Chains A and B, each alone.
Chain A
Amino acid sequence: MKHLLSIADLGADGIEEVMRMTDSFVEVSERAIPRVPALRGKTVVSLFYEDSTRTRLSFEMAAKRLSADTMNFAVSTSSAKKGESLLDTCRTIEAMGVDALVVRHGSAGVPWQVASWVGCSVINAGDGWHEHPTQALLDCYTIRGRRGSLLGLRIAVVGDVKHSRVARSNVLAFTMLGAEVTLVAPPTLLPPSLAGWPVEVSADLDSVLPKVDVVYLLRMQAERQSEALLPSLREYTARFGLTGDRVRMLPDDAVVMHPGPINRGVEIAADVADLPRSLITRQVANGVAVRMAVLFLLLGQGPSGRSEPRG
């Protein structure tokens, strides 16, 4: 595989392969010197057109632990601010000799466009509302670590599915691995059409909670109020927030997950995030090992994917 653009590129077998590979990199991460020479001489560049701390740092740490050289193209201080187009920026970076571009952009589809313009590997680190495949991989890995497998698990994805790349990738990944997914949201925060989505839908969190193994909360953004998608965050919390009372409705072994950053008091009550059943920090910890696995699968086998500069 050359690129990781969508969970759909991996399929169930591909996801399982990433998770098996992740197992060995978790072991690396636990060593006194958590570093292996697997990608020595390779260069991984992160090209982030949106602010992000955890995803960018997670990729950077993953690349460093594999001994790759890393560079960070910070858009706020770069030529993009001077009007350079995405296409020209990609060609410029590629001309420096790069093995992988880790791309985050506010517009859906940008990683596909970048992959058509450059010769190196492209990893989608989040494109608009569309996909965030490494988040889905680390979420699957985290669930697998707790429950052994996703097969037959009932997972509720709660919140702003419409605007969520995390939700799109996770619905694909969870269902590919055999989980049953229920989307829980007001209709304004669901995609306009769910044709082809193998999911159930509910607007009643209380009726869903007693029947789930995983509650996956999505981040609720304050601007949804001003777009008339919600009357208020307060009403959202009242209907869809995971409050202390609602946590008690969950089966004993059910877990709580969130891609972060969390809004305590909005989608999740302040103390719920810190309960033993919350896997939120486990997700972050697993993120590094999962991204090591992805980088290794794309770059670690066979000859360099580095392209000759064009023209």
Chain B
Amino acid sequence: MADLVVLLRGGRVVDATGERVADVLVAAGLVRAVGADLDAPAGATVLDAGGCVVAPGLVDLHTHLRQPGREEAETVESGARAAALGGYTAVVAMPNTEPALDSAAAVREVLELGATSTCDVRVAGAITRGRQGKELAPFGEMADLGVRLFTDDGDGVQDARLMRRALEYASSLGVTLAQHCEDKVLAAGGHMHEGEWSSRLGIPGQPAEAEELMVARDIALARLTGGRVHFLHLSTAGSIAAVRAAKVEGLAVTAEAAPHHFSLTDADVAGYGTAFKVNPPLRTAVDVAAVKAGLADGTIDAIATDHAPHAAEHKDVPFDQARPGMLGLETALALALTELELPLHTILALLSWNPARIAGLELAHGGPVAEGRPANLCVFDPAAAWVVDAGALASRSRNTPYAGRTLTGRVRHTVLRGEPVVVDGKAQR
């Protein structure tokens, strides 16, 4: 790999510093030159980037790789392949595996599985042992392995006192706590957003306030402790307004939103399709507009997939028994390009360099595309239309709500540490 030489020919290079039409020469894992009409060295692999954007590889703050414990739904290898096909060069694997990633040993196992995969697999550690919400997990030993985000994702930390202690303890390690905001008591029994559609469909709902209460609480705790809080998958107008105010106040908070929360609404549940069951649930059109506004004005720092594969036997069941979650890695970039009326530069900030910074990966990922930088790159055609075919996805699971939908924007090549892992839309291994 180290001796690979790759020339990306004729693309439009876009990174945090701006954009220019240029060739990009990659060798030994690093960007060696960016400029017009570069000569291809002997033996170089030349990849056509004409009509395409050459950008820093995308970074996903929120990926469920399901290994260990649910390998029938996804493995580190299959999830990393899906990520590469989606233009990602780094993903943060969530710790709600079985067992949970709540110790150095568990984290190390996933890092080792990821070391040879087609994406840079990083790990978020659990906040509490076994994600039980009772005792702090050993942050220090996980931080020593490079863990920078901690979360009990799937659940929020319900106990305010424990969350306070976690924030205080984490601040000495320079790590960030990422919260799945959901007041479990208020949300109990809810299988979709509570409102017009849940009322009509007879599906028990959970109110937006179940999310907003915990967002408000954790903003207060960030103020109390000075700790850093990252809000996972914000989905309601109220949550976004609260985070906007917290940022104005100068608190150390960041936030992400998932593509389904800006592209689908609770009305999409009307056919009882379990692919549309997700947590936080699909919200109203008003909330979708608020998510888009939050992405546009910087209240929301990043788009994160919440890629959540589930085997068919956990989705081909009654709606209220189906597991929540949907695939995301292979459709996120296209959904952002299709649904968001934002400048390309802003969309890439949300998908690449902002999440790279939040995950503490800014030395390796998120650009800029410049000489001497690690060659983690994504090349995509922003105008290519394609139809999502669930059966053609690289994930082991098929639970996408976008099957049959036409999206615009498709990944052509992905380069990881100088190696073309995706060429012309095909995974190379």
List chain A positions with a Cβ less than 8 A from chain B: 85-87, 105, 107-110, 112-113, 127-131, 165, 168, 191-197
Contacts and interface: CB of A to CB of B under 8 A. Distances in A.
Interface stretch (B66-74, B87-95, B317-325): B317-325
B44 interface: no
Given A85-B316, A192-B207, A109 B194 contact: no
B238 to A, nearest CB: 16
Given A86-B317, A107-B318, A130-B201, 15 more contacts: A85-B313, A85-B317, A107-B320, A108-B201, A108-B203, A110-B272, A112-B271, A112-B272, A113-B319, A192-B207, A193-B195, A193-B196, A193-B198, A194-B199, A195-B199
A77 B406 CA distance: 46
Given A85-B316, A109-B318, A113-B318, A128 B203 contact: yes
A192 B316 contact: no
13 contacts: A85-B313, A86-B317, A105-B318, A113-B272, A113-B319, A127-B202, A128-B202, A128-B320, A129-B202, A130-B202, A130-B203, A191-B198, A192-B205
Contact of A108 (B194, B195, B202, B317): B202
Given A85-B317, A165-B202, A108 B272 contact: yes
A192 B199 contact: yes
A110 B202 CA distance: 12
A108 B320 contact: yes
Contacts of B161: none
B200 interface: yes
A196 B202 contact: no
B200 A196 contact: yes
Contacts of A109: 201, 203, 272, 318-319
- A108, A168, A191, A193 interface centre (most CB from chain B within 10 Å): A108
A191 B318 contact: no
A215 to B, nearest CB: 23
A192 B195 contact: yes
A279 to B, nearest CB: 25
Interface string B185-212: 0000000001110111111110100000
Interface in B155-210: 194-196, 198-205, 207
Contacts of A165: 202
Interface string B313-337: 1001111110000000000000000
Which of B196, B318, B321: most chain A CB closer than 10 A? B318
A185 to B, nearest CB: 13
Nearest to A167: B202
A93 B227 CA distance: 58
B207 A86 contact: no
Contacts of B316: 85, 87, 113
A195 B203 CA distance: 15
Contacts of B194: 192-193
Contacts of B271: 112
Most buried by B among A105, A168, A191, A197: A191
A126 B338 CA distance: 40
A194 B201 CA distance: 12
Contacts of A192: 194-195, 198-199, 205, 207
Contacts of A110: 272, 318
Contacts of A193: 194-196, 198-199
A225 to B, nearest CB: 17
A127 B272 CA distance: 12
Contacts of B198: 191-193
Contact of A191 (B199, B207, B319): B199
A109 B202 CA distance: 8
Interface in B198-257: 198-205, 207
Nearest to B271: A112
Closest 10 CB pairs of A and B: A130-B202, A109-B272, A107-B318, A191-B199, A129-B202, A108-B202, A195-B196, A193-B196, A193-B199, A107-B320
Contacts of B203: 108-109, 128-130
A192 B321 CA distance: 21
A87 B272 CA distance: 15
Nearest to A163: B202
A223 to B, nearest CB: 13
Contacts of B272: 108-110, 112-113
Contacts of A195: 195-196, 199
Nearest to B194: A192
Contacts of A168: 200, 202
A87 B317 contact: yes
